[in-house]
Amino acid sequence: WFKYADWERLMTAFLLATALVALAEMGDKTQLLAFLLAARFRQPVPIVLGILVATLVNHAFAGAIGVWITQLIGQNIMQWVLGLSFIIMGAWILIPDKIDEDEQLNNARFGVFGTTVIAFFLAEMGDKTQIATVALSAKYAQEFIWVILGTTCGMMLANVPAVYLGNHFAKKLPIRLIHGVAAAIFIVIGVIILTNNTLL
């Protein structure tokens, strides 16, 4: 059985990953893609399942890279890499995303589920939420499974309402404020890592 400190670290990794990705995903290109797919196909269940599968695969890949980086780089260098990565992520979140409809939906011949999986997987490659997953997995290398579950949960929290409620959902949200909060959290975490080599 896990000790209390172990459970506390597991839940910190999971909840932090969930919160950061859910906030960062608001107005992100993958959320815009969710709006686009919902408007195009009007079949929410296969779209939601496609998002789930694509996110799990993509973020598992990102998590594995994060763990690999921790084994490759020494602790002192890792502290600087992680701290600066979080600060850069904070700045990146403030840049609005756009999406090319033709580019993302050119795989419609694979059906709603297949199109969603392919489009979301490709859209997540190099996206801010994937990079966040790499950074969080590097920080929480022992708990990287919980990081992946958390980032996936955050993606679903942001995108499932987008699929069911459409663009009206986005218009009612204070996206700039949400991005500002997410950016501030990322930057604060980065500063904490750089100054204390710790997290929360």
Average the pLDDT over 169-182 and give the result.
73
Residue 108 pLDDT class (50, 70, 90 cuts): low
- Report the alpha-carbon distance of residue 74 to residue 164 in Å, rounded: 45
Residue 125 pLDDT class (50, 70, 90 cuts): confident
| Per-residue model confidence as pLDDT tens digits over 75-93 | 778 888 888 888 888 888 7
Residue 196 pLDDT class (50, 70, 90 cuts): confident
Q: What is the pTM of this model?
A: 0.82
Q: Could you please report the per-residue DSSP string of 141-171?
A: GGGHHHHHHHHHHHHHHHHHHHHHHTHHHHH
- The pLDDT score that the predictor gives to residue 154 is 94
Give a three-class secondary structure readout of 49-74: HHHHHHHHHHHHHHHHHHHHHHHHCC
| Per-residue model confidence as pLDDT tens digits over 10-68 | 888 899 999 989 988 887 788 888 888 888 888 899 999 999 999 999 999 999 998 99
- The pLDDT score that the predictor gives to residue 181 is 85
